[in-house]
Chains A and B, each alone.
Chain A
Amino acid sequence: MDDNRQRAIITVVGHDTVGIIARVCTYLADSNINILDISQTIVGGYFNMMMITDLSGKKKHFAEISSELESLGEDIGVIIKIQREDIFDKMHRV
Chain B
Amino acid sequence: MINLREVNETNEMIQRENLDVRTITMGISLIDCMDSDVERTCERVYEKITDKAKNLVKVGEDIEAEYGIPIVNKRISVTPIGLIGASSCRSTGDFVKLAKTLDKAAKTTGVNFMGGYTALVSKGMTEKERLLIESIPEALCSTERIMSSVVAGSTRTGIDMDAVRLMGEIILKTAEATKQNDSIGCTKLVVLCNAPDDNPFMAGAFHGVTEADAVINVGVSGPGVVKRALEKTRGSDFETLCETIKKTAFKITRVGELVAQEASRRLGVPFGIIDLSLAPTPAIGDSVADILREIGVEYPGAPGTTAALALLNDQVKKGGIMAASSVGGLSGAFIPVSEDQGMIDAAEAGALTIEKLEAMTCVCSVGLDMIAIPGDTPAETISGIIADELTLGMINQKTTAARLIPVIGKGVGDSAEFGGLLGHAPIMPVNGFSCKDLIHRTGRIPAPIHSFKN
**Interface on A for B, CB 8 Å cutoff?**
9, 11, 37, 39-41, 48, 50, 52, 62-63, 66, 81-92
Contact = CB atoms under 8 A, between A and B. Distances in A.
A10 to B, nearest CB: 10
Contacts of B257: 90
Given A66-B65, A90-B257, 16 more contacts: A9-B7, A11-B8, A11-B11, A50-B4, A62-B65, A83-B67, A84-B66, A86-B258, A87-B68, A87-B255, A87-B258, A91-B251, A92-B2, A92-B6, A92-B10, A92-B251
Contact of A50 (B7, B62, B251, B258): B7
B3 A62 contact: no
Top 5 A-B residue pairs of the complex, sorted by shortest distance between their CB atoms: A83-B68, A90-B254, A92-B6, A90-B258, A87-B67
B449 interface: no
A52 B1 CA distance: 9
Contacts of B3: 39
B34 interface: no
A91 B10 contact: yes
Contacts of A81: 11, 68
A88 to B, nearest CB: 5
B4 A39 contact: yes
A94 to B, nearest CB: 8
A69 to B, nearest CB: 12
A37 B1 contact: yes
Nearest to B2: A88
- For B3, B4, B257, which residue has the most chain A Cβ atoms within 10 angstroms? B4
A18 to B, nearest CB: 22
A36 B393 CA distance: 54
A86 B2 CA distance: 10
Given A87-B67, A87-B69, A88-B10, A48 B4 contact: yes
A88 B13 CA distance: 12
Contacts of B251: 91-92
A80 to B, nearest CB: 12
Interface of B: 1-4, 6-11, 62, 65-69, 251, 254-255, 257-258
Given A63-B62, A81-B11, A88 B69 contact: no
B62 to A, nearest CB: 7
B7 A88 contact: yes
A47 B9 CA distance: 16
B66 A85 contact: no
* Most B-side CB within 10 Å, residue of A40, A41, A90: A90
Contact of B8 (A48, A84, A86): A48
B322 to A, nearest CB: 8
25 contacts: A9-B7, A37-B1, A39-B3, A40-B4, A41-B4, A48-B4, A48-B8, A52-B1, A52-B2, A62-B65, A63-B66, A66-B66, A81-B11, A82-B68, A83-B68, A84-B66, A85-B2, A86-B258, A87-B255, A90-B255, A90-B257, A91-B10, A91-B254, A92-B2, A92-B6
B227 to A, nearest CB: 18
A88 B6 contact: yes
A92 B3 CA distance: 10
Contacts of B9: 92
Residue of A50, A52, A62 contacting most chain B CB atoms (<10 Å): A50
A11 to B, nearest CB: 6
Contacts of A83: 66-68
Contacts of A85: 2
Contact of A63 (B7, B8, B65, B254): B65
A52 B258 CA distance: 19
Contacts of B7: 9, 11, 50, 88
A81 B6 CA distance: 15
A62 B6 contact: no
